[in-house]
Amino acid sequence: MKKLILAAAALAVAWIGFAGAAEAQWAPTRKVRLAVPFPAGGGTDLLARVIAKALSDKWQQPVYVENLSGAASGNVGALEIARSEPDGYSLLLSPPGPIAMNQLLYKHMPFDSSKWVAISVVASVPYVLDVRNGLGVSTVKDLIRKAKDDPGKITYASPGVGTVGHLAAKELEMQAGISLTTVPYSGLAPALMDVAGGHVDMIFDTLTTSLPLQQGKQLNIIAVASPQRAQSLPDVPTVAESGLPGFRAVTWYGIVAPPGTPADVATKISNDIVAVTHSPEVVDAIRNKLKMDPMGISNAAAAAMFVDDAKLWSDVIKKANISLD
């Protein structure tokens, strides 16, 4: 735990150190790379393309999305950006893993996560608790009661060790005092499909990918794991409301720059990204097409969010003894 606390503290010092700098007159004079450490076609990639188009229009310079996949953790693609010139022309858009979580899971990281320069968080999406049809539960309390009556009988689909979906299930076990049986998968799609097919009892998944299955009556969303209820599911309670105060599982999409990026450059890029993220066109695309929650927060706020998330999951990771090395 001491190591995890020190890591979080280092992240705080590095990220927050770039907050509040005076805005420079930096503006790109050539194309800018917005890297995604995952293959094309996924939610991160689609979001990056929305942001890239808006920035291209604002800067009057091409902003192109480059998919730097190679590992489920995102570390391979993130490493390339971490090694890039800190001049504002290479940025990383990623969910929490390579930015704030992987340093808690891997003993040997290929780059120092504490040295990322925070730019913004452009969107977030809550996780939801899905159960298969026919399980016989309609609330979190029902699920907990069933799990306590027959420990280990309820199965949950894990889309990968150390993913938010995996950690959220562990958090549920610890807070509720129950025992679940893990069914491991190498990715989200097969895990989710097996719950929808009735082969596994439950899964924590993003609202974006679960909502269509709920609407198609292929599974049942019984709770939302964000602090507030989801606008698209106003009648579905949060996990916290359901008897587990403080429970939270939300994924977000942050933008960071390579270590050593000057504070004034980072602040200028952050201000521009905040501006385009709040434009009506981008808000509409994020909210209505991607089914995410638009954010567009400053580099200071993003830095604080990175640290807060690292602290949240560090306790779960230690108590559950999760490691990817």
Structural domains present in the chain: 2-125+252-319 (3.40.190.150), 126-224 (3.40.190.10)
Tell me the mean pLDDT in the region 34-63. 95
Confidence at residue 23, expressed as pLDDT on a 0 to 100 scale:
44
> Judging by beta carbons within 10 Å of its beta carbon (0-12, 13-18, 19+), is residue 102 exposed, middle or buried?
buried
Kindly state the DSSP code that residue 152 receives in the 8-state scheme.
Answer: T
DSSP-derived secondary structure for 54-83: HHHHHHTS-EEEEE--S-TTSHHHHHHHHT
Query: Which band of pLDDT confidence, cut at 50, 70 and 90, is reported for residue 14?
Result: low
Spatial distance between the Cα atoms of 185 and 320, rounded to a whole number of angstroms: 18
Kindly state the DSSP code that residue 289 receives in the 8-state scheme.
Answer: I
Tell me the mean pLDDT in the region 228-245. 94
Q: Six-digit token pair at 62?
A: 């091409």
pTM of the predicted protein model: 0.83
| Count of CB atoms situated within 10 Å of the CB of 193 | 15
Q: Six-digit token pair at 164?
A: 């938010």
Confidence at residue 5, expressed as pLDDT on a 0 to 100 scale:
47
> pLDDT, tens digit, for every residue of 73-93?
889 999 999 999 999 999 999
Question: Residues of the chain with pLDDT > 90: what percent?
Answer: 76
**275, 281, 287, 291 alpha-carbon torsion, rounded to 10°:** -120
Spatial distance between the Cα atoms of 259 and 225, rounded to a whole number of angstroms: 32
Residues 6 or more apart in contact with residue 204 via CB below 8 angstroms = 127, 128, 129, 130, 156, 164, 165, 168, 169, 172, 225, 249
